[in-house]
């Protein structure tokens, strides 16, 4: 089983701050997912990446396959970014996504 | 034009009852999933179907039975509901196991 650890578990920031959420996993993978769960409960896929970096608006995701580590960055954070951010990685067979426990981000105005 | 829709959004029922949650996706995806999110917000895979065939079946009580009448639908039937079944259940779909996931809005099940 691929163990997934996220840090921090909780993060409070002021509007405009640069945010970094980290994800480490134990077994080599083909790709890693970053998800966002809003207070209303809906889950949205933000990124799926297997190498390097991806950018979408103010969100940037990076992955280092050798170090088994990924980061999610939010530039110029805004209160609407407040959500739980979850990383997920596939198991050794490529199936059975294992999810991190999530990072609760609160951005205050 | 909802991509992945599941019903009902809320389900409150008593112990021992049998209930179903329905899920439909209009994305043309081949793979569908059921996930359970517990009170600590931890997501865990329950089942996955690819083209109506079961491909992932985690350690889930036999009281949970998924059914996929076609590749656009994956329903979850739960027999003899227990208090511990209370959770939010998410349906999701993807083109295949290596593609991004699209989630439904979740069904909050409360067993009293």
Q: Quick check: helix, strand or coil at residue A93?
A: coil
Query: What mean pLDDT is predicted for residues A47-72?
Result: 95
User: Do residues B67 and B52 touch, judged by C-beta distance below 8 A?
Assistant: no
> For residue A79, how many other CB atoms are within 10 A of its CB?
12
Task: Name residues whose C-beta falls within 8 Å of residue B101's C-beta, 6 or more positions apart in sequence.
Answer: A33, A35, A45, A97, B33, B92, B93, B94
Q: In this structure, is the dihedral angle defined by the CA atoms of residues B81, B82, B88 and B91, taken in order, positive or negative? A: negative
Q: What confidence tens digit (pLDDT) does each residue in A7-33 have?
A: 999 999 999 999 999 999 988 778 899
Q: B52 is written with which tokens?
A: 């109506």
Q: Do A84 and B41 touch (CB under 8 A)?
A: yes
Q: What is the predicted pLDDT for the residue at B108?
A: 96
Q: Is the pLDDT of residue B3 over 80?
A: yes
CA distance B12 to B10: 7
Of B7, B29, B30, B3, whose CA–CA distance to B90 is shortest?
B7
With bands split at pLDDT 50, 70 and 90, how would you rate the model's confidence at B60? confident
Q: What is the mean pLDDT of chain B?
A: 92
Residues in chain A within 8 Å Cβ distance of B44:
99
User: Do residues B9 and B106 touch, judged by C-beta distance below 8 A?
Assistant: yes
Residues in chain A within 8 Å Cβ distance of B48:
95
Query: What mean pLDDT is predicted for residues B49-72?
Result: 87
Q: What confidence tens digit (pLDDT) does each residue in A64-91 have?
A: 999 999 999 999 999 999 999 999 998 7
Interfacial residues of A (vs B; Cβ cutoff 8 Å): 30-31, 33, 35, 37, 41-45, 48, 84, 86, 88, 90, 94-97, 99, 101-102
Of B97, A70, B82, B61, whose CA–CA distance to A60 is shortest?
A70
CA distance A13 to B87: 29
């Amino acid at each position: 089983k691929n163990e997934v650890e996220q840090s921090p578990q909780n993060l409070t920031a002021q509007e405009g701050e640069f945010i970094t959420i980290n994800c480490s996993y134990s077994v080599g993978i083909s790709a890693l997912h970053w998800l966002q769960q809003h207070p209303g409960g809906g889950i949205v896929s933000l990124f799926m990446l297997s190498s390097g970096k991806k950018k979408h608006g103010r969100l940037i995701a990076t992955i280092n396959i050798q170090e088994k580590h990924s980061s999610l960055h939010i530039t110029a954070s805004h209160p609407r970014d407040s959500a739980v951010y979850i990383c997920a990685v596939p198991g050794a067979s490529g199936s059975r996504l294992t999810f991190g426990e999530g990072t609760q981000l609160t951005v205050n105005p | 034009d909802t991509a992945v829709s599941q019903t009902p959004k809320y389900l409150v029922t008593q112990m021992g009852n049998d209930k179903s949650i329905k899920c439909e996706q209009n994305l043309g995806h081949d793979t569908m999933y059921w996930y359970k999110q517990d009170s600590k917000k931890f997501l865990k895979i329950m089942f996955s179907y690819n083209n109506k065939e079961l491909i992932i079946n985690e350690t889930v009580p036999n009281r949970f039975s998924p059914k996929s009448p076609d590749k656009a639908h994956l329903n979850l039937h739960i027999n003899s509901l227990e208090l511990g079944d209370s959770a939010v259940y998410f349906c999701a779909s993807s083109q295949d196991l290596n593609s991004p996931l699209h989630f439904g809005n979740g069904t909050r099940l409360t067993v009293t």
